[in-house]
Amino acid sequence: MKRISLLFIFLVVILGSCDRSSRGHLVGVQNRPDPYYADPPGMVFIPMGSFTMGPSDQDVAYSQTAINRTISIPAFYMDETEITNNQYRQFVEWVRDSIALRELEISMHDIKYERYFITEDDFGNLLDTAVIDWNRQRNLRWSNVKMDLIEMDSELILPDSERFFRRPEIDTRKLEYRYHILNMRRAASFTRAQRDSIPGFRASLVEWKKTNVYPDTLVWLSDFTYTYNEPMAQTYFWHPTYDHYPVVGVNWQQARAFTVWRTNLLNSYLAGRDRPYAMDFLLPSEAEWEYAARGGLANSPYPWGGPYIRNAEGCFLANFKPLRGNYIGDGGYQTVIVAHYPPNDYGLYDMAGNVSEWTRNAYDESFYYIGHDMNPDYQYEVQPGDPPTMRRKVVRGGSWKDVAYFLQVSTRTFEYQDTATSYLGFRCVQTFPGRDRADGRGASNVY
């Protein structure tokens, strides 16, 4: 009887395991990760759709750089506000801390820096090379690290000859973020046979970049020569009052570096929890930007509709230059806190006014005539020796110092990618993986 019971249990186990197998059929790889994709905090879901891209009103500048076209856009996320000073400061301080810890690692043999490093493995054996104790660093006050760097005469600290009132401060010229991009568009220009036959082809697609991340705070003086903007130059980026104001003084290269860092920051978190990587954060294409700015309103000149720039109570709906130069007529003097004015129907704030915004696209007057009607995207990586016109990037949205024409969702202009100004910021987008959230991918406020 006991043998019969054991045989029965054995058969149940065998049959149960067979039920979970493919039984020789095509069933795909099993136990794949959950496809759930949470809404990134601070971002708004923009559903896929088609819209008429191009002028909604007369071409005041008579530039003839845009025509009306029907464009289709896949679903994506977009930051509900422009990137703020405090958000960008997280990037700057991450770079600062990384450089500081790298310098400490060089001095790891000094006994007074032992607390920053792991020197033994889990079994008490000495490591060949000490490694930074990142878990400890998370709770470490920067002031302590800074004082240690001063003691070791760090290159990250300004030399005595450049200090004001002998205050030890960070040399912002040393805050460089190094990263790489993968030039997939170059790879796509070759056939599969060519890619396989060229030695080192994959390595040639990896392009390393180095960018100083600290904003140019002197743009408040260089943009407006004969005005008193010293207080803005001295305090705008670091003072807590301006934490939730849009970051300015950031050029296109710095904005792109921010998107790469933001992607890696999130993916590092997800990898530590054995979860799939997230989609890349990017600057928006100008088509994505215009589609999101319209908020689902067809042929409207402004994010809130139109044709007026005031609401029913007579209040201006954006921060710009109204009434022939009455800057404070809209409630602001220069930039204002983000989300101060009502959002559009997608829930996006300041898609017109406050600061203009970088897109990822290179500027070409004829792009509307040659671009695809499926999320058109023209990117160009500037090469040494290129003429200045190749350094132009599309700018959208109008700013606090612009007249109403530049607030229109269809108005396109440009700035050079190495240019930083007091009226230009950015926000990020993230492609949604799939058709729509109705495909079983839920939404939540946290990852």
- pLDDT (mean) for 156-173: 82
pLDDT of residue 191 exceeding 90, the answer is no
- The fold for domain 40-84+228-440 equals paralog of FGE (formylglycine-generating enzyme) (3.90.1580)
At residue 287, the pLDDT reads 95
Task: Flag whether pLDDT at 58 surpasses 80.
Answer: no
CA neighbor of 56 nearest in space, from 44, 67, 70, 43: 67
pLDDT-derived band at 440 (thresholds 50, 70, 90) equals very low
Residue boundaries of the structural domains of the chain: 40-84+228-440, 89-175, 176-212
Asked if the bond preceding 307 is cis, omega within 30° of 0, the reply is yes
Is residue 144 very low, low, confident or very high in pLDDT (cuts 50, 70, 90)? Answer: low
Residue scoring higher pLDDT (437 or 315): 315
Q: Per-residue pLDDT for 386 more than 80?
A: yes
CA 94 to CA 214: how far, in whole Å?
Answer: 12
Q: Is the pLDDT of residue 51 over 50?
A: yes
Q: What is the model's pLDDT at position 155?
A: 75
pLDDT at 117: 62
Q: What does the buried/exposed string (b/e) look like for 96-135 if buried means 16 or more CB atoms within 10 Å of the residue's CB?
A: beebbbebbeebbeeeebeebbeeeeeeeeeeeebebeee
Q: Which residues pair with 181 in a beta bridge?
A: 207
Mean pLDDT of the chain: 84
Beta-strand runs (E) in 165-220: 176-182, 206-212
Res 61: pLDDT: 66
In the block, which residue shows the tokens 């009887």?
1
Among 65, 66, 68, 74, smallest CA distance to 52 is for 68
pLDDT of residue 116: 58
**Bridge-partner residues for 151, per DSSP?**
none
Poorest-pLDDT segment among 71-80, 140-149, 216-225, 292-301: 140-149
User: Which range among 169-178, 264-273, 274-283, 349-358 has the greatest average pLDDT?
Assistant: 349-358
Most confident of 51-60, 250-259, 270-279: 250-259
Residue 36: per-residue pLDDT = 75
> What is the residue type of 292?
A
Question: pTM of the predicted model, to two decimals?
Answer: 0.84
Cα separation, 358 vs 433, in Å, equals 24
Are the CB atoms for 249 and 221 separated by under 8 Å? Answer: no
Which residue is it, tokens 């460089």? Answer: 176
On the question of pLDDT at 114 being above 90, the answer is: no
